[in-house]
Amino acid sequence: MTDPKTGQLKVTCVHPVISSGSDETSIQSDVSLNDATCEALLERRWPQNALNCVDLFAGAGGFSLAARRAELTVRLAVELKKHAASTYRDNLCKVEPKPYLAEGDIRVLDPVTLSRAAFADGQPCDLILGGPPCQGFSSHRLNDSGVGDARNDLIHIYFDFVRAFSPAAFLMENVPGMLWPRHKPALDRFYREGREAGYDVKAAVVLDARDYGVPQRRKRVFILGCRRDLNPVLTWPPAPTHGSEGKRRENPALSSWVNCKDVFGAAPKNDPNDTHMSHTEELVRTFERTPPNGGSRHQSGRTLKCHEKHDGHKDVYGRINPDEPAPTMTTACINPSKGRFVHPTLHHGITVRQAARIQTFPDDFIFSGGLMAAGEQVGNAVPVALAQLLIEHIKPILSAGRAQAADISPPARRANG
């Protein structure tokens, strides 16, 4: 509705739309968060003719930084965790065009009113990004744990936003565990929602970041959806750019996997993320006995009580081999007790900066909240270089959507929204 005095679009916030079938029946509308977000979005002035996107479950901002590098304007981001939100705000909300960061629970936001506010200028939403919290799908959960986890339902909250914003495409990232048979009902429902909303939802693909030039072994699921009315013709996923020596013999066009040697260079002066965990003297002596450049715990002569009867968790307290891609940066990537996260030659765990470099964040991207919070943010992020490659790969679909939108008048688009 237009304000007769100002001529500006007025947005009336309504009760949030919660995905059908959600177990979260006690969620109440946080009107103040929703209203504040709508009002702030209406005050923004956005570049004309730029491709636009929205980043849900934005975390520290890996997807948003990648989108900006791919020359998209991020209009709206949503993040719940305060330290991640602080990192996002400090790094991404101080440069024009500034995204608006809604800091709070996405389940109490109304995607319909937010879509009208974010795109009140009549431009379309071109892309929705996001990585709904994945712990419910994690491979670290045993047997049927994770089934029915409320965090799994967040993929459907994600789709509520897709339905409301009607982007040309959406790209969702998650852990491979979401493809396990026990999570099939949740995933089937997501695909059904996509079909009913008019999207061609591509089969979920597991991509290894090292196959695309990231110095890290990291397998994650990506799901791409494109509006069917755009008649999308796109090779998905994009062909790998890097590979093992065996793959390179089959395809000489591939480059070698990128090793992680460069991430261990000196950090910028006074870098607040050039920090690592403090260790006991006993643990430091263990690291001293561990061979450099890839040595493992068992070579140090130290046996943990929890491993006396089995040889599992072989990477715990192991050193990273700088001549290979690094291991997966998890939310505990700065803690050597959680994986192969010891510096190649020094006698301590890796720093936040080194972990961030492995995730292809630039050195001027500062993570807030202290050591443990920063490590968690790094581990939760999408590698920036991989995300940028994927976004640039689907830009032809976004451009097709923009060309179609140019044939529809802005008032008609709002009326149909």
Q: What is the pLDDT of residues 168-223, one digit of tens each?
A: 999 999 999 999 998 899 999 999 999 999 999 999 999 999 999 999 999 999 99
Least confident of 113-122, 173-182, 225-234, 299-308: 299-308
Which of the four pLDDT bands, split at 50, 70 and 90, describes residue 7?
A: very low
> Tell me: the pLDDT tens digits for 354-394?
999 999 999 999 999 999 999 999 999 999 999 999 999 99
Peptide bond before 97: cis, by omega within 30 degrees of 0? Answer: yes
Among 10-14, 43-47, 240-244, the minimum mean pLDDT is found in 10-14
Please check whether residue 191 is in contact with residue 160, taking contact to mean a CB–CB distance below 8 angstroms. no
Rounded Cα gap, residues 276 and 81, in angstroms:
22
Please name the residue ranges forming H helices in 220-280.
Answer: 245-250
- What are the pLDDT digits (tens) for 208-257? 999 999 999 999 999 999 999 998 789 999 999 999 999 999 999 999 99
What domains appear along the chain, each with residue ranges and CATH number? 46-243+383-416 (3.40.50.150)
**Res 369: pLDDT:** 98
Write down the residue that tokens 């009336």 correspond to.
Answer: 12
Residues labelled as active-site residues: 134
Q: Residue 53 has what DSSP assignment?
A: E
Q: Is residue 200 classed as helix, strand or coil in its secondary structure?
A: strand
Annotate 290-355 with DSSP letters as a single string: SPTTT--GGGGT---GGGTT----TTTTPBP-TTSPBPP--TTTT-GGGSS-B-SSSSSBPPHHHH
Count of other CB atoms within 10 angstroms of residue 64 = 28
Nearest by Cα to 26 from 39, 35, 16: 16
Whether omega for the bond prior to residue 167 falls within 30 degrees of 0, making it cis, is no
Region 150-164 average pLDDT: 85
Q: How does DSSP classify residue 2? A: B
Residue showing tokens 């079909």: 195
Handedness of CA 236, 241, 243, 249 (dihedral sign): positive
Residue 169, both tokens: 């495409």
Residue 128 contacts by C-beta under 8 Å, 6 or more apart in sequence? 53, 54, 55, 56, 158, 161, 162, 165, 167, 169, 170, 171
Both structure tokens of 198: 């008019």
pLDDT of residue 352: 98
For the stretch 347-364, what's the b/e string if a residue is b when 16 or more beta carbons lie within 10 angstroms of its beta carbon? bbbbbbbbbbbbbbbeee
Report how far residue 293's alpha carbon sits from residue 4's, in angstroms, rounded to the nearest whole number: 69
Q: In terms of Cα–Cα distance, which of 160, 275, 244, 232 is closest to 393?
A: 232
pLDDT at 382: 98
Strand partners, 243: 256
- The answer to whether the Cα torsion of 391, 389, 335, 277 is positive or negative is negative
Question: pLDDT, tens digit, for every residue of 244-297?
Answer: 999 999 999 999 999 999 999 999 999 999 999 999 999 999 999 999 999 886
Q: In this structure, are strands 52-56 and 73-79 parallel, antiparallel, or unpaired? A: parallel
pTM, two decimal places: 0.88
- Amino acid identity, position 278: S
Q: What is the pLDDT of residues 314-360, one digit of tens each?
A: 678 999 999 999 999 999 999 999 999 999 999 999 999 999 999 99
Q: What span, in angstroms and rounded, lies between the C-alpha atoms of 376 and 216?
A: 17
Per the prediction, the chain carries an average pLDDT of 87
At residue 413, does pLDDT exceed 50?
no
